[in-house]
Amino acid sequence: MKNLFLVFLLILNTISNSFSQNPYYDAAKVATIVSWNVENLFDTIDAPDIIDEEFLPGSDLNWNTEKYLQKLKNLDYVLSSINKNELPELIALQEIENIEVLKDLIKQEGLSKAKYSILHKESPDLRGIDVALLYRSDAFVLVSSEMLRIQIELEPDFKTRDIMYVFGKLHGDEIHIFINHWSSRRGGEQESEPKRMASAILARKKIDEIQKIDKNAKIILLGDFNDTPFNASLKSELRAGNNLTPEKTGDLYNLMYDLAANGKGSHSFDGKWNMLDNVVVSYPLLFAKKGFSVNFSTIGLFFDEKTVFLNNKTGFWQPNRTYSGNRYYAGFSDHLPVFVQLKTKE
């Protein structure tokens, strides 16, 4: 299995799958940002206002305290392994049930070594899955936050996850953060596309407002977009491509574009890897002369022998999930985490 995994490493060929320990690492000059759809991080307590029945004791999944604690341990292992030098400054999470699971997560062995604060607000999603931000209080100062509500004119009863907009100072450098979990492809990619387009339109509107005030604003969008870099929602509506010279003022750059173009992805379906988890930045964050800018050598997907497995039936590698159907595998998630490291010369 180890030899097979080495072959998988060569096939996936990400720029980096983690930051190894470095005796010359300067924590004051770098910042690690991670985004991960952790796939159904539910506690075992019934919440009457959301649809959480399948993640309760006695359900078809037989979710219980032991499995919940194992899930927390697994997530902690990954988030603590991405950067061997220090824990990430910012962690954007998707598919978490409530603030209580986040409190439990930051108490785990690895993450408890840093002082993480939690930013979370309940969204109208019927299943109760939300987005959230964990931030190291020694590295990030929260200035303001806003939940952007997605609405579709022809579907007044439509409910999905809000986009979390956060403004703060990362080691003193002002940064705008958008955490996304756009509507799934359930029902078909084309049929569900208008829902993701609505999210892209809303995010783009807020970005335009920011850039109108400050054309040099450092902006980063993270999360599970349920679309690849080549879909219209990201490429056309959000205006995020891979051209190092912006075609239009205010354009964005998708750091995962080139990886996706080379067949890499964060989610596996029918034997194909798709880059559904994206990291999109404004151009001032690419080429900043002062403060933080993107370190292009540290953009990637995290995986190791625990987080992926070879499906013997299909012959394809895929993420090691907690469940597949009703079968419990004690895994991690159906998505791989994506990450980027920022650097400063100061």
Maximal C-alpha separation, the chain: 57
Between strands 252-254 and 240-241, the pairing is parallel
% of the chain beyond a pLDDT of 90: 79
Q: Is 199 left (phi over 0), alpha (psi -120 to 50) or beta?
A: alpha
Question: CA angle at residue 290 from 286 to 295, to 5 degrees?
Answer: 35
Phi/psi of residue 177, nearest 5 degrees: -125, 130
Q: Give the pLDDT band of residue 2 (cuts 50, 70, 90).
A: low
The tokens of 13 are what? 């060929």
Question: CA angle at residue 331 from 265 to 12, to 5 degrees?
Answer: 25
pLDDT digits (tens, 9 = 90+) for 110-147: 999 999 999 999 999 989 999 999 999 999 999 999 99
Phi/psi of residue 100, nearest 5 degrees: -65, -40
Mean pLDDT to the nearest integer, 83-98: 97
Q: Give the pLDDT band of residue 10 (cuts 50, 70, 90).
A: very low
pTM of the predicted structure, to 2 decimals? 0.94
With contact defined as beta carbons under 8 Å apart, do 238 and 203 qualify?
A: yes
Closest residue by Cα to residue 36 from 211, 180, 147: 180
Q: Give the pLDDT band of residue 157 (cuts 50, 70, 90).
A: confident
With contact defined as beta carbons under 8 Å apart, do 114 and 87 qualify?
A: yes
Count Cβ atoms within 10 A of the Cβ of residue 45 and give its class: 0-12 exposed, 13-18 middle, 19 or more buried: middle
Could you tell me which residues come within 8 angstroms of residue 71 by beta carbon, excluding any fewer than 6 positions away? 41, 322
pLDDT of 128 reads: 92
| CA–CA distance, 41 with 93 (Å, rounded to integer) | 10
Single-letter amino acid code for the residue at 161:
R
pLDDT digits (tens, 9 = 90+) for 207-234: 999 999 999 999 999 999 999 999 999 9
Cβ neighbours, 10 Å, residue 151: 11
With contact defined as beta carbons under 8 Å apart, do 47 and 128 qualify?
A: yes
With contact defined as beta carbons under 8 Å apart, do 336 and 277 qualify?
A: yes
pLDDT digits (tens, 9 = 90+) for 299-333: 999 999 999 998 888 788 899 999 999 999 999 99
% of the chain beyond a pLDDT of 70: 95
259 in helix, strand or coil? helix
| CA–CA distance, 225 with 234 (Å, rounded to integer) | 8
Which residues of the chain form beta strands (DSSP E)?
30-41, 90-96, 116-120, 130-136, 140-148, 163-170, 173-181, 219-224, 240-241, 252-254, 267-269, 272-274, 277-282, 293-301, 308-311, 316-319, 323-324, 327-328, 338-343
Assigned CATH topology for domain 2-343: Deoxyribonuclease I; Chain A (3.60.10)
Single-letter amino acid code for the residue at 149:
R
Between strands 308-311 and 316-319, the pairing is antiparallel
| CA–CA distance, 212 with 206 (Å, rounded to integer) | 10
